Amino acid sequence: MASPAAASDPAPGPPPPDPQAIRACLTSTLAVEFDREWRIVLERVKQSQDLADLHELLNKWRHTAYMEMHEPGSYYRMLAKAEQITRTGANPDAGSFEDMTELVRRRQASA
């Protein structure tokens, strides 16, 4: 039986925007992708002397790590979905604009 303190602890959030903390949350396959992007961005930052790209990379990957901790495989499912939409020009799972407008209207009314 779980202790009451453990039951009330919220699920952990994304790792801090630190490359080692992010990498520790990734599968070995995703860590390879992270490392590849890390090297590309570091070279860009060296040339530009602007850290914006580095902050953007860390933000992207910390949320990717969080998503993967809660739904393993979600990153590759997202990439496959993006490829399908790009290839076909349509998202078969997308709702209509009218459906989305109605959903927003209902959520605003209940807030």
Average pLDDT, the chain: 89
pLDDT tens digits for range 68-93:
999 999 999 999 999 999 999 988 88
Helices (H), the chain: 4-8, 19-24, 28-48, 52-70, 74-88, 97-110
The pLDDT, as a whole number, for residue 93 is 85
53 has pLDDT over 70: yes
pLDDT tens digits for range 41-52:
999 999 999 999
pTM above 0.85, yes or no: no
